[in-house]
Chains A and B, each alone.
Chain A
């Protein structure tokens, strides 16, 4: 046995996770000062959804017109009749609630996309790279912030609520030194005024606790002052007393609480919101997994649309996942970790009714490592073109700073 078979140094991920993420939230900013500059970020809204666990792009946006597809997938064929989209593509039947958006040109997909991550197929490295927005095929430890934050760093006229991380999941995509807000719809904080004063004094020399508490108090006050504004169009969903501990507890048509909260902020000063939908890792019984997850995704998008009202017209939602899954289903009614996959776009600001991207084909020789869908585009390019179109960010900045090493290529024209 030689150690050279495995010539790795330390666990890179451990160091990425523990060493890098010191600054957080608005820690670097003076407490709760809402600074508004002359030039505001405009009226366009961007919602970034991170789909954790690796969504199977080949099942969600099925290349039914590719002659090789049927040979790989019993489970997909059994899961129900696909909904015709365009060209060779058809949507998973559980996306039916979104089909009216497709018809109106408010829903689109990009296929055969991936981050630059290759080969190790680890969810956790994959998500770290997706959220860091880096250009290497392994985690880049020199980049300590997320790409949404680097976009914010370049935007003039930020206020502390221009960007919002919603919910309780760690959102590395927005970590960094630019200010952003963070709250969960069902979070509460009740303190006497003396309690507040003493708490503030107690935390004064501890920036991490000081800034988080100050933000929690400020948001609580703001919501107490304007409960109606917070209720959005969802009948006060965020007033539910307890966090939902069980995913899938919501009924099929119930509005999604995170989306309702995000919409309530986006109707105010917030322009950028991010949260995650977890649980896509479908190694077994994939049909059931996707029924649950696509149900959640549909509820999220429809809640955003319903609650945003006219603002939906200025909104772009992009949903991205860490990688795709194997072309061929595995032996247990699921799929294992792969490479190329699909992303979803929605909103009144997009040019929908299209499946973007170049299809690589599914013949075994056309697959990545004879196993996975071959990526033909960098998923970051779609996010970059969305940011360029919505906020006028310079192409060079996007390719060097926000997404290091990205070649945006030609404009796919995803915005209406």
Chain B
């Protein structure tokens, strides 16, 4: 029977590490979450201003290149190189937060919430924008009230771009009448369906439409890429959403949008939807109904305080069942493998672009989870079996067998490594496999390829 510390590391963290002790229990997990965010300081994401500035440079160089301005092509190439360097650094910092960070639960929450609020960088020139989104909209808000998280997300440029809100205008707004622009339903629908109430809730097409009218005006400043509320795009009417009316002059509509987001966040359907998704992500594809009920109750009691919801999950016995109900998603899998391998601190940060491709990006795609490129706004699915199809499992086994020896100067003894990676969660079959392997490379590979290590 695995100890609670093992379960805490595997189910609620980024896995076991030879360098950092696992949190002993629920209280230790929550204490780690209350500490200052050292991982963000140690492994910062991309600088938002730089992301946008480089994106602008691409646009300018492209224009110059079309006009045959001398040197434009070279300048474009150099800017693209800088963007790639920045994107690579962002990826490595995200990986390292999980590999070396003190609170594995915080990193898992970042994964969960960036998936719940999926954004994809649709524009190549600002491809790092999902990382900016994670640091600005998700990470600072994921332990507070859901409504604050939701507001940060719905007003973040990354989401506004991804779900086509930036040009959505009221047909009778000033911008709408002048430029013949109009409404786009995308963000409104997905906020209700995916982010808050859930598709099973009783909202209607009329609610989607009304919400889309209400969200007009949320856009960004093209110069600096910052969020901007533009009253000229606001439909000058009052909207009725789920039985409540949100009116007032266009310039005051942002306050009404915030009010509507508060109202939606506090709905019981949202409590149920969010609690269920968290339980499904952390505990089981089909979680214990009592667990979901306790988390939903905590959400409603606290007015959507997310730490209260996490606490209710961690206080429930179902959360401490032996590991294995879920399969680690590919990003989690690579992070957990690296955490167990514990390469010297400078190793990952020093990877060259081709190595990042070979060790991380190509394998993630091969395992079915290309980095920050979820197939749709619903994000990556939670069906454990769906991550273990033949081609996807083959990519995991390939990684386990080939990559560790290219990252570490000396591979550990597989018989010791199985204890490091799985501790008392190691079954006899994986212990035997580690012992019987022909060499260290295969022994370590077998441990990382094992069903024990892939499950959590």
- What residues make up the interface of A, taking CB atoms closer than 8 Å to B? 1-3, 5-15, 17-19, 21-25, 27, 52-53, 119-125, 165, 167-170, 181-184, 186-192, 194-195, 198-199, 201-206, 208-209, 212-213, 215-216, 219-220, 241-245, 278, 281, 283-284, 330-332, 334, 336-337, 369, 371
Contact = CB atoms under 8 A, between A and B. Distances in A.
A18 B401 contact: no
Contacts of B201: 6, 8, 11
Interface in B393-444: 393-395, 397-398, 401-402, 429-430, 432-433, 436-438, 442
B236 to A, nearest CB: 15
A18 B273 contact: no
Going nearest first, the 5 A-B pairs with the smallest beta carbon separation are A331-B182, A11-B198, A6-B202, A187-B391, A184-B391
B442 A204 contact: no
A334 B199 contact: no
Contact of B365 (A14, A208, A242): A242
Nearest to B269: A6
B267 interface: yes
A243 B365 contact: yes
Given A170-B381, A190-B401, A199-B449, 5 more contacts: A6-B202, A19-B285, A201-B429, A283-B185, A332-B181
Given A11-B199, A121-B205, A330-B182, A199 B276 contact: no
A330 B183 contact: yes
A25 B389 contact: yes
A168 B432 CA distance: 32
A206 to B, nearest CB: 4
27 contacts: A6-B242, A10-B276, A14-B280, A18-B383, A24-B386, A24-B389, A122-B189, A123-B376, A124-B199, A167-B391, A168-B389, A187-B394, A192-B442, A194-B438, A198-B433, A199-B433, A201-B432, A206-B451, A209-B388, A212-B389, A213-B390, A243-B365, A283-B163, A283-B186, A284-B186, A331-B176, A332-B181
Interface string B61-75: 000000000000000
Nearest to B437: A198
Given A125-B199, A209-B451, A330-B183, A245 B373 contact: yes
Contact of A7 (B164, B183, B202, B401): B202
A53 B200 contact: no
A18 B280 contact: yes
A167 B395 CA distance: 13
B376 A52 contact: yes
A85 B84 CA distance: 45
Nearest to A220: B394
B378 A9 contact: no
The A contact surface, by secondary structure, is loop
B362 interface: yes
Report which residue of A3, A220, A330 has the largest number of chain B beta carbons within 10 angstroms of its beta carbon.
Answer: A330
B290 to A, nearest CB: 14
Nearest to A2: B243
B391 A168 contact: yes
Interface stretch (B1-9, B148-156, B166-174, B336-344): B166-174
A194 B442 contact: yes
B389 A8 contact: no
B450 A331 contact: no
Interface of B: 163-164, 167-169, 171, 176, 181-186, 189, 193, 197-205, 208, 242-244, 263, 267-269, 272-273, 276-277, 280, 285-286, 357, 361-362, 365-366, 368, 370-371, 373, 375-376, 378, 381-386, 388-395, 397-398, 401-402, 429-430, 432-433, 436-438, 442, 445-446, 449-451, 454
Nearest to A206: B451
Report which residue of A19, A209, A369 has the largest number of chain B beta carbons within 10 angstroms of its beta carbon.
Answer: A209
B291 to A, nearest CB: 13
Contacts of A1: 243-244, 263
Contacts of B382: 17-18
Contacts of A182: 389-391
A10 B437 contact: no
A53 B169 contact: no
Contacts of B204: 119
Nearest to A166: B391
Nearest to B435: A198
Contacts of B263: 1
B167 A284 contact: yes
Contacts of A119: 204-205
B193 A21 contact: no
A8 B164 contact: no
Contacts of A203: 451
Given A123-B376, A213-B393, A10 B398 contact: no
A22 B203 CA distance: 30
A283 B184 contact: yes
A199 B397 contact: yes
A10 B386 CA distance: 22
Given A14-B277, A202-B450, A216-B394, A284 B184 contact: yes
A334 B187 CA distance: 14
Contacts of B186: 281, 283-284, 336
B94 to A, nearest CB: 16
B112 to A, nearest CB: 14
Contacts of B164: 283-284, 332, 334
